[in-house]
Amino acid sequence: MDVSTFIFWGLLAAVVIYGITLYNNLVSLKHNVDKAWANIDVLLKQRHDELPKLVETCKQYMQYEQETLDKVMQARSAVFNAREKGDVAALGPAETQLRMGLGNLFAVAEAYPDLKANDNFMHLQNRISGLENSIADRREFYNESVNNNNVRIEQFPDVVIARMFNFGPRELLEFSEEEKKDVNMKQLFE
């Protein structure tokens, strides 16, 4: 075997090994996005299960606030549908509506001292608030994973492997401008 043949096979082996490494890295990124989504999904499911308990507890005290309770349940349903379909684009607006509904519900609850003093209500309010914080943390991790995936599949030479094996971009979980701005407490109590 002459030197040029040896160099050729050595370079070919290096290119193949490099291609395999790129492919494996892209697979890892794809699965990180899926894992991050699964983490959000678990928290959304937990919150989904807690909301009817909160609304039922509130119904016992808030006889004249049915519209507020209905909006929370409608938003809950929209979040559930988006979550079940894995529709990240629909989840953002549904989450915005749910958070606004919960904000209104907790603001209206301020007018009901017996409700605020109810242990079950306090427990559910704390549980849902904790889930909201966890969802926000997981959303950040999800979006970071999506960003890493999307950048890598556009960079050379990863883009070659990504196109050959259909590694596509993923969607960020974004919320509306309404969700991002500060809460107007005066408006909530009007």
pLDDT tens track for 14-65: 999 999 999 999 999 999 999 999 999 999 899 888 888 888 888 777 766 7
Neighbours of 75 (CB within 10 A): 21
- Provide the 8-state DSSP code for 156: T
Q: Which residue has the higher pLDDT, 130 or 183?
A: 130
- The whole-angstrom separation of Cα 63 and Cα 16 is 70
Confidence grade of residue 97 (pLDDT, cut at 50, 70, 90): confident
Task: Flag whether 24 is in a domain.
Answer: no
Nearest to 145 by CA among 177, 166, 180, 173: 173
Q: Is residue 118 domain-resident?
A: yes
The answer as to whether 104 is a domain residue is yes
User: In 3-state terms, the chain is what percent helix, strand and coil (to 5)?
Assistant: 80, 0, 20
Torsion of CA 159, 164, 167, 168, to 10 degrees: 80
* Mean pLDDT computed over every residue of the chain: 84
User: Would 96 be classed as within a structural domain?
Assistant: yes
- Nearest 5°: the CA angle 132, 54, 61 is 135
What is the number of alpha carbons within 13 Å of residue 48 lying toward its C-beta?
18
Residue 185's pLDDT is: 40
pLDDT of residue 88: 84
Amino acid at 3: V
Evaluate whether residue 164 is within a structural domain.
no
Name the residue range of residue 75's domain: 36-154+170-188
Question: What sign for the dihedral angle of Cα 4, 161, 31, 96?
Answer: positive
Token pair of 38 as six digits = 């699964």
**Predicted confidence (pLDDT) at residue 186 exceeds the cutoff of 60:** no
* CATH assignment at residue 136: 1.20.1440.20
Q: Which amino acid is at 99?
A: R
Count of domains observed in the chain: 1
Q: Is 61 helix (H, G, I), strand (E, B) or coil?
A: coil
- pLDDT for the residue 56: 83
Cα diameter, the chain = 91
Residue 116, pLDDT score: 74
* Closest CA relative to residue 105, chosen from 42, 40, 61: 61
pLDDT above 80: residue 167 = yes
In a domain, 78, yes or no: yes
